[in-house]
Structure 1
Amino acid sequence: MIKTCSDERMTYMKKLVMLVTVVLTVAMAAVCFAAGDGNDLNKQQKIVDKFVAALTVADDSGYAGAAAGFSPELKQKMDVKAFAALQKQVKDTLGTMKEMKFVAYERFDQGDRLTYLGSYSKQQLVRVIYGFNKEGKLTEFIFAPVEVQKQEQK
């Protein structure tokens, strides 16, 4: 059998169409799988936003909004009095928050972790880490001041 130029071109076109179809299918599947992670991240960031806003409120009114995102274990440890003590401690040691930027989202078997870098009036750089359980409730948080080392000039 003699192959003509059009047969080779037709085979090439079929392969090209199949390749494009496979690439588009994989791309759409990746977007669909990532959608669940994005929804979880959005919910957890809203909880963090409420928590940060509650820390800056002078009275007890912010606690109710923040506590809605707490896990049952954290609610036991962090009642209104403990939250007021936390507010005072943050204000005394770190000062007033200037800015807070999201830097990392980590997924683990037992839950998720969101990391932010913040700037406060008394502390230039603070790493703030929020831990969440599988239900998307806040289980823990850590304020860790970061000491910036200045390089010696020669």
Structure 2
Amino acid sequence: MSNVVSLFGDTQKYEERPVVLLADDDPSIRLMVRHVLESEDFDIIEAADGLEAIKAVEKHHPALILLDAVMPGIDGFTTCQQIKEKGYTDIPVMMITGLDDDASVERAYEVGAIDFITKPIKWAVLKHRVKSVVAKVIAERKVKLLAYRDSLTG
């Protein structure tokens, strides 16, 4: 079971308060998103730039990453691509940005994002999209966990 726990973390804790990584260079956006999602029983890990986000993914293996496209240093597109290239393909990424041109939307999907939310953020939309994606991630992790468990030894 210890190998399973290392692969999937503490599944029960993960279901009770899923971890969402929020990477945005704007502290006011981080504060507002934190407020909205913590009220929905999510634990929020914050990063102010792409490098912090990559380190946080490696340390916390969140259920979902909310990633600003425009950040100093490594932008969100490159950050998303690097996260996926490091093998974290099971963690969905939603881009949150003021960019809404077709090229930016296309680029977000090309680098591995599953969704694109424009600023100003519609808080009800964000809340429901996050809840939906995280519920799917939890269900997928449960299935993987069951596939690793032996029916005789648990």
For the criterion TM > 0.5, the same-fold answer is no
Taking structure 1 as the reference length, the TM-score comes to 0.28
Which of the two has higher C-alpha Rg? Answer: 1
Point out the structure with the larger strand share: 1
The higher relative CO (CA closer than 8 Å, separation ≥ 6) is in: 2
- Tell me the TM-score normalised to structure 2 length: 0.28
